[in-house]
Amino acid sequence: MADVRGTGAQGEPPAEAPENGRWSLTVASRTTRAHGRRTVAWLLDAAVAEFGAYGYHGASMARIAKRAGTAHGTVYLHFADKDDLLHAALTDVLADLDPALLAVPALRPGDGGLRELCDWLAGVCSRFQTHGAVLQAVNEAMSAGDHTKAGADGLHSLSRSLAALGDRIRATGASEIDPQIAALAIYAVIEGSNRALFRGQLLVSQDQLAVCLAEFIQRSIFGADPAAVAP
């Protein structure tokens, strides 16, 4: 199996230090030694590949160690079990994803409102695709009813996102729409369509998906022809 670790010239570690990379929060919290930081980053990269290939329940700690090019026992020096590893990865994923989700713009009819939604969704979709393997593993753990730390963090993230969406929907004054139910439906479409795109089940580009989602949200709130009521 190919080694997932990136290397620079003459086998040196990657130019980007682990503490400055995609796993900066987890690396900083798990170890202070330079070698340990590299190992933690390699293990997290390997875990993403393993979750993407086998899902949460099919993932193996032994295979993760092998992917990272380290001994099986080394994994347990840094992570208690598979849930702890997924929880650690999700910490850095949510640090990137949550701010994008919570930056939902004010919902407005017309072309201006549509452009703002498209811009927001472009960033959201980009992050869903970047972190698809981790988010898919978390969804698998949650849907199976497992009481995992990653699942608990996923639910907290969902609650924050639904609250932000609900506030924006409520601010439109659309009295015939229940903001909480609408927020849940909109989030489900965003998350579900991005999951399908990540799996290769949805044959559109990421940009096309963002546009379609923006149109769906705007029409859901303002009706079939939102431009007609634009100021």
pLDDT in tens, 130-184: 999 999 999 998 887 778 899 999 999 999 999 999 999 999 999 899 999 999 9
Which CATH number goes with the domain that contains 40? 1.10.10.60
Asked whether residue 163 is assigned to any structural domain, the reply reads: yes
Q: What is the pLDDT of residue 137?
A: 95
Asked whether residue 4 is assigned to any structural domain, the reply reads: no
Residues 109 and 93 in one domain: yes
Tell whether the model's pLDDT for residue 2 goes beyond 50. no
Residues 139 and 122 in one domain: yes
Residues 131 and 219 in one domain: yes
Asked whether residue 2 is assigned to any structural domain, the reply reads: no
Of residues 95 and 224, which shows the higher confidence score?
95
Residue where a domain terminates, one of 79, 95, 115? 79
User: In the chain, how many domains are there?
Assistant: 2
Domain residues for 177? Answer: 84-229
pTM score of the predicted model? 0.86
Residue where a domain terminates, one of 51, 79, 107? 79
Residues 121 and 154 in one domain: yes
For 164-199, give the DSSP string: HHHHHHHHTT-TTS-HHHHHHHHHHHHHHHHHHHHT
Which CATH number goes with the domain that contains 92? 1.10.357.10
pLDDT in tens, 199-217: 999 999 999 999 999 999 9
Q: What is the pLDDT of residue 19?
A: 52
10's tokens:
């003459």
Q: What is the pLDDT of residue 173?
A: 94
Residues 97 and 188 in one domain: yes
Taking the C-alpha atoms of residue 25 and residue 39, their distance in angstroms, rounded to an integer, is 14
Tell whether the model's pLDDT for residue 6 goes beyond 50. no
For 3-54, give the DSSP string: ------GGGPPPSS-GGGSTTHHHHHHH--SHHHHHHHHHHHHHHHHHHHHH
Q: Can you tell me the mean pLDDT for 32-50?
A: 93
Residues 123 and 48 in one domain: no
Residue where a domain terminates, one of 79, 97, 123? 79
